[in-house]
Structure 1
């Protein structure tokens, strides 16, 4: 149940919060809160002194000042009781069965159970049906929320007119739930509800939630001690709330009272300590933040980098006693450096460009506290190196120099960014800095001429898969009239059915290799330009298959990059539809590649960089 913004944390309000704890094992930390209110749930004990005991009602849900995302009470059945502030005197006078409620899935009290209260009739205990008065919580009626009257309970012995209400899951209750029978000379309604250290009439302190409240008392005036708990955004991490650094509302702080009950307050909070003893306060430390300082009564208790989240306060119990606990926190930033295999060299990561694992980056810089930072990492499988939990400051990430000489930086090799801490609501965070570094990898391949691919060394490299791959392409998928000694496709046989034989060693008659050899050695001095293009294209394709490993590799044509596959596709198109001039130009271009022992290319695979 999320409470309206007008509600504030009350003196004496203690709530306990934990996530994911089963009903049978609530232990110290229950989510949500309990608090006393009026019958309609429109007041949250803001130092209210109720004029009569019958005016006090119990309500439940997310605690005051809690963020909207805070959880309500875990669903299930609960018992409640009223005691003096020390918990030693049980003041509730009816049977425990009369003090049972249900919490629904919205985390609010939604049902008040009936029970049996016992009174003496003619010397015997007799049960009478009992149901505590309830009303609709008008602020949260849509969630099914109800308030339940705490009365009946006896007057408190406390001089300030202070009471304590307790709530515990029925599964955690250790007192007796048996009905009363027999002679009325024995104990009944309070049977099993006896005080012992850590166990308050069946309510174990580590498994309960409490709230203190006042009813008008006509005795001597006593101003109960209290502790204020606050938090500030220490943006410069210097441990002082400087001008412009905001106080933080809604930050969770676990408060443990002198009875051992731990509940969660949300800053800014006031805990009224009606009994003397040792109290402790432990702030939450969410990931991505750091505590910079902790103060008690204006004195530094601990500070960064060894700040402690826990502050202990001893309450003497004197009238008008006050204490303060103040925490400072800062949001921590991060810096992600990612290495882009910028294959096309345009300075950005395109959709088909991978990030590179194993690239070296070095972080350097100075925090706002003046400390120097230095650290070197290699990019992980994601292609990025990440530095987390950085104090505000100025940081530079510089890429390492790869030692193979294959890589060329396309963009900047370093990036300097400022990390600051920001506050949004009750959450702090530091800047998430990031930079991409683009590099291109260049390799060199030794291509073979068409003569190489016709001789025994070239033919030895060819596989049936290589030949099958070219047999489906236009220049080779159907028979041509280029030659009487070889025709297409390269299956080892002429269209007439005769086996193709060659004088080349390593190419047996009737094999694709034999027919490839004959095709590549065909005298085209008087042949067509298309035949010459088809021969150079065939050699180029074999070079791509065996020297570049992947047709997606980029080669340089007219000063620009083109993938080998696209160059093959362009050659096939020109073979089919190009003019004589275009066919000759393409044939000469492919021949220039095939004749080179130093073809520069950008591979598809970035490989493993060396440092």
Structure 2
């Protein structure tokens, strides 16, 4: 959060929006909601939960400095501030939401100094924990939590209120509550037209500069109140939830404080005081208090600051940032100690406890740097910083002098006897740094981290504080992870060398690589990084590279899906891999080789320097899918370790199945006879992306087989024969999408199989079952004695025609009066049922021809939907075809479709439902 100047904003420059009201009986109160709105809430509001969180503070007229305490030179300068203090995170010290009453007393709380009724001193705290409204007074009554009317304000306010200085009596309308004394628009700065209350002010409200913009916070003037009898000029501000107040006072917020008769020793009242208001219960855990002082003294100022000691030298150098100004920290939680921008709502200044003398004892509160305090009485004041995660305190300074040893808590003795006394407490801390990078396997030993070079696990990297080349106790270190990365934490500020602990058989080639030797390999001339660490710095990309003796290794894998990649597939045992010195593609004597193990891995040793191709000895029937072409060309340098040079192969798959006659139409192959000469297609994409289309026909037993199928993903479909309907499978791949396409100039069975074939698979069981086509005519479906046959279809004779064929509800069809062949009255197509459509006639107009089509279409839908009818169309196909024909309004297209559907309804195998 942003910091502010450490000063009191002059009253004359405040751009505040003052709010005031009159408590008079004849006054309107239009500015803010009053107790009229508050009454129903009083009846249900319970004291705040959580034990009464948050705090209150006295502050300046703009809220610029909280806990002002002793700096006020006049009572009208004292304002009430509820909520977070400056430089704190936005969620700190917030009050519980609700309505509160405030008052001013002497320090012990025995004498009430507030001169107006409690109803003039009600504020609201919003959900963000800050005061956002001073409530307008009202004459109305309030209700207790039990629903009982407790006080009638109109009756209660007939009493006069008295002023102790003149003993004058003033009626209720003159009560100085939230009003501008002389009408000049500046409450609290001019004489009040009421004897005895000269210049007291009347609860002005100003925007709180800390949280006014983001939380709608305001500060509220405490006036009017009498002068404290305390010899040191000390007052106490109180605030308590309104429900806690009315529980004691019987909801009497309207009682006018009455001046005590005479002086009550030892508490002489200079002007006005009254008996303590019993509504404020000191022991109540929800009651908040804060002491302040009004006197013309010479208060001292104490400023507490914190700097980030970047170089850890215990001195605040010119370029080092101030925490709470230049950068902020997260004060608590899982991110405690993180450095953030001050605009981050979770970050703020550095937290510290501030202890000051108070009423013969001390008072301690938490604040956030930077903060300026007013110390108006002589005594000892202490600032004690919090310890945050991963931070180390390196400095403490009092009034320009660094303390040795460093002090977590710094105290200052304040004299407060002359103007201009100031003190400054400064804390300095530094945060541990980190160092990260990667330990990589320098495969080509060229002293450079190339893109394909992997990390090395289990290597120790350390900060060599004493520069002796060895890892000593107390020196920060880290071990590289499985990917070779490391992060060293806990590094102090300073300039140090970062080294590796060299392992046996390895050579460091980076950092600081030297020139290649005769074999082309590189060694480092100085295997370390030299870095300057500052507080909280994070050094990255500090890598180390090493190489070891030369080998060639890899894996022979079974490329099950034929995609030319090793997808964690199993190895192939017993394959020979060799280095083809003479590049003749054959294994010759003297060429290094190795046989793959049970997991398919191999390792070739004894490879002479040079550039060679590494090949496999291909076995019969197999196809090499990786690499392409089937070799790795590598440059071997002395001492190089080449890994990951794999080979992948696949073997063709076989796909089998059967075409059977489903004679009992139960959608199951019950050992029924096969059908010979039926075309089956397999099409899709091989693992390497090649498009595959294969065709075969069933043999005398109805069996089919595809051989030499590359691994891949395919669809298997049957090509339909005229006069047959598909009865198995009933669910699976959508083969209709391939009908009459460029590669398939025929009709397929609607359902097929989506399959995935792997290398060496022999996949069977994907059968197809068919029966000769069947169909029942419109004449069958419209007969009353056949209505039972409708039941399995899911349709009813009374279903609306347009509910099935939506285009029939459009013109020129909807309003067309269709003939009924049964002699029944004609019916509009748009109003017809399915049964009425089966009785349609016909004619010459487009709408007449639509009658013919709809009659045939309804019968076709019933045939397609009935489980015991082997029909050549699905319901969806019929609906789509009919709607398209009707939408065209082409009589030829309509009649052609009607003829086609009538043909299906009159299938050669007849109606199986007769």
TM-score bucket (shorter structure): 0.5 to 0.7
Asked if 1:398 is matched to 2:499, the reply is: yes
Per the normalisation by structure 2, the TM-score is 0.40
Residue 57 of structure 1 is aligned with which of 68, 71, 79?
79
Distance of aligned partners of 1:57 and 1:9 in 2 relative to their CA distance in 1, 3 Å threshold = closer
What is aligned with 1:436? 543
Distance of aligned partners of 1:302 and 1:211 in 2 relative to their CA distance in 1, 3 Å threshold = farther
Counterpart mapping for 1:63-102 below 5 A: 63-64=85-86, 66=87, 73=94, 76-77=97-98, 80-84=102-106, 91-92=113-114, 99-102=121-124
SS in 2 for 1:263: strand
CA contact (8 A) 1:23 1:74 kept: no
Distance of aligned partners of 1:269 and 1:280 in 2 relative to their CA distance in 1, 3 Å threshold = same
* Residues in 2 aligned to 1:61 and 1:561: alpha-carbon distance in whole angstroms: 77
Residue 36 of structure 1 is aligned with which of 32, 36, 59?
59
Residue 326 of structure 1 is aligned with which of 410, 413, 426?
426
CA RMSD between the two structures: 6.1
CA contact (8 A) 2:299 2:416 kept: yes
The Cα shift of 1:359 comes to 0.8
What is aligned with 2:228? 156
What is aligned with 2:531? 417
Per the normalisation by structure 1, the TM-score is 0.56
Distance of aligned partners of 1:342 and 1:224 in 2 relative to their CA distance in 1, 3 Å threshold = same
What is aligned with 1:222? 297
What is aligned with 2:207? 137
What is aligned with 1:17? none
What is aligned with 1:499? none
The Cα shift of 1:191 comes to 0.8
Distance of aligned partners of 1:102 and 1:282 in 2 relative to their CA distance in 1, 3 Å threshold = farther
CA contact (8 A) 1:281 1:311 kept: yes
Report Cα offsets for 1:403-457 as digits up to 9, x if no partner: 2x2x443312311111134xxxxxxx4454651112345564699xxxxxxxxxx
Asked if 1:282 is matched to 2:282, the reply is: no
* Residues in 2 aligned to 1:298 and 1:601: alpha-carbon distance in whole angstroms: 62
Residue 461 of structure 2 is aligned with which of 347, 361, 371?
361
What is aligned with 2:393? 291
* Residues in 2 aligned to 1:6 and 1:243: alpha-carbon distance in whole angstroms: 20
What is aligned with 1:458? none
SS in 2 for 1:178: helix
Unaligned 5+ segments in structure 1 are 12-21, 195-199, 422-428, 448-464, 475-511, 521-528, 576-585, 606-611
Asked if 1:339 is matched to 2:439, the reply is: yes
CA contact (8 A) 2:549 2:639 kept: no
Unaligned 5+ segments in structure 2 are 11-47, 143-150, 161-171, 179-201, 261-273, 326-348, 512-526, 565-571, 578-583, 646-914
The Cα shift of 1:294 comes to 2.2
Q: Choose between structure 1 and 2 for higher RCO, CA contacts under 8 A separated by at least 6 residues.
A: 1
Asked if 1:309 is matched to 2:408, the reply is: yes
CA contact (8 A) 1:364 1:372 kept: no
Counterpart mapping for 1:511-526 below 5 A: none
* Residues in 1 aligned to 2:416 and 2:445: alpha-carbon distance in whole angstroms: 74
Distance of aligned partners of 1:192 and 1:233 in 2 relative to their CA distance in 1, 3 Å threshold = same
Identify the range of structure 1 (92-101 vs 150-159) with the bigger mean alpha-carbon deviation: 92-101
SS in 1 for 2:298: coil
CA contact (8 A) 1:72 1:108 kept: no
* Residues in 2 aligned to 1:213 and 1:154: alpha-carbon distance in whole angstroms: 13
The Cα shift of 1:51 comes to 7.5
- Higher relative strand content: 1
SS in 2 for 1:258: strand
* Residues in 2 aligned to 1:26 and 1:564: alpha-carbon distance in whole angstroms: 80
Residue 387 of structure 1 is aligned with which of 474, 488, 505?
488
What is aligned with 2:17? none
CA contact (8 A) 1:208 1:261 kept: no
